[in-house]
Structure 1
Amino acid sequence: MNNEKQLREICHFINQERVLTLSVAAEGVVWSATCFYQFQKDQMALYLMSDINSRHSQLMLKAPMVSGTIISSASSMMSMKGVQYQAHITPLSDEHEEQARNFYYERYPISRVMAFKIWRLQLREVKLTQRRMGVKRCLHWMCTQRLEVFSQ
C-alpha cells in the first residue's frame, strides 16, 4: 500500500539509520554484507561503497536483484523497528558515479580516502516493521513507476 504518510515514515526511518545488510545470490552462491549507505528520498535509492572485487560485489554483477535489512539499534524485543527491502543494484560510472560519490561523501567524509566503487541500490519494495510494547505494526511501499536506473 502506497500512501504519503506511510512513505514519509518509511523514509524518515531509512534516513536516520546508517547501516544496511545486503544479501545476494547468484549461480548457487548466497552471500551477505554490511554496508554504510546514503539515502536519496526523491529517487527511493540508497548509495553505498564497496570493493568491486569483494564476494558480494562479484555476485551482484551477476545477479543485481538483492534484498536486505536496515534495523534500529533497539535494546529490547518489545520495542524493535526495522526495514526489509528488495532492490536492484547497479555499479555507477562516469558522471553518475561522481555525483553519487559526492553525495555519499556528505555523510561519510572519511570515505574520501577509499577507492571503492559506488553502487546505486534502487528500492523496489520496502516493509517497515515496528514493535512497541509487544504490538506489531507493518507499513509497505512498492515502486509503482519505472524509476531511472543508472548503468555502467
Structure 2
Amino acid sequence: METLTAVTRWLAKQHVVTWCVHQEGELWCANAFYLFDAQKMTFYVLTDEKTRHAQMSGPRAPIAGTVNGQPKTVALIRGVQFKGEIRRLEGQESDVARKAYNRRFPVARMLPAPVWEIRLDEVKFTDNTLGFGKKMHWLRDL
C-alpha cells in the first residue's frame, strides 16, 4: 500500500490530534478534535484565541504533533508523528472549513472558537500491524 494512502486512511478514522508550539524558549501542547482533509493534508481544529497555545501561535506558527490510537497490545500500535504549521483561518476560508467541521462534530455549532488549519509538511506513520516497528514516511513537495 502506498504511504500516502495508508496515512490518509488511518487519519480519516481518528479524531483527536495533539500539537506542540514553541515560543521564546517555552513549549506547550494542546489536544483537539480534528477534521482531516486528505487532499490538502491538513487538519482543521477549533481553539479559542485566549488559550495558551493559541497565544503562543499567534496567527501562524511552526508546530509538531501526534495522532495515536489507544491499543492494549504493542502489536496493534499505530500512530502518526508530524511536523507542520498552524494558522488561524479568516473570511471565506474559515467559513468553508467551519461548515465542514460542524458536519463532522455537530456540537461544535455552539462553540464560538475560531478555526485553525494544521498543514502537515512531514509525517511518520508507525504501523505495527504490518510488522513490529514498521514505519512509513511522507514529505510535502515544497
The TM-score bracket by the shorter chain reads over 0.9
Q: Runs of 4 or more off by more than 3 Å in structure 1?
A: none
**Which residue matches 2:108?**
111
Cα deviation, 1:55-104, whole Å, max 9, x if unaligned, reads 00011117610000000121112320000001111101111110010011
Residues 21 and 68 of structure 1: CA distance in aligned 2, closer, same or farther (over 3 Å): same
**Cα offset, 1:144, TM superposition:** 0.7
**Which residue matches 2:9?**
12
**Which residue matches 1:89?**
86
**Which residue matches 1:72?**
69
| Higher mean C-alpha deviation, range 35-44 or range 126-135 | 126-135
Q: When the two structures are aligned, how many residues end up with a matched partner?
A: 142
Q: CA separation in 1, counterparts of 2:68 and 2:101?
A: 20
Q: CA separation in 1, counterparts of 2:7 and 2:43?
A: 13
**Which residue matches 1:149?**
none
Q: CA separation in 1, counterparts of 2:132 and 2:85?
A: 32
SS in 2 for 1:115: coil
Q: TM-score by structure 2 length?
A: 0.94
| Higher mean C-alpha deviation, range 42-51 or range 133-142 | 133-142
**Which residue matches 1:27?**
24
Q: CA separation in 1, counterparts of 2:111 and 2:51?
A: 14
Aligned-pair identity in percent equals 27
Cα deviation, 1:76-133, whole Å, max 9, x if unaligned, reads 1232000000111110111111001001111101100000010011110000001249
Look up the equivalent residue of 1:135 and give its one-letter code.
F
Gaps of 5+ in 1: 146-152
Q: CA separation in 2, counterparts of 1:141 and 1:134?
A: 19
* Alpha carbons 2:60, 2:88 under 8 Å: kept: no
Look up the equivalent residue of 1:14 and give its one-letter code.
L
Gaps of 5+ in 2: none
* Alpha carbons 2:59, 2:87 under 8 Å: kept: no
* Alpha carbons 2:84, 2:120 under 8 Å: kept: yes
Q: Let me know the Cα RMSD of the aligned residues.
A: 1.6
* Alpha carbons 1:123, 1:143 under 8 Å: kept: yes
Q: TM-score by structure 1 length?
A: 0.88
Residues 127 and 133 of structure 1: CA distance in aligned 2, closer, same or farther (over 3 Å): closer
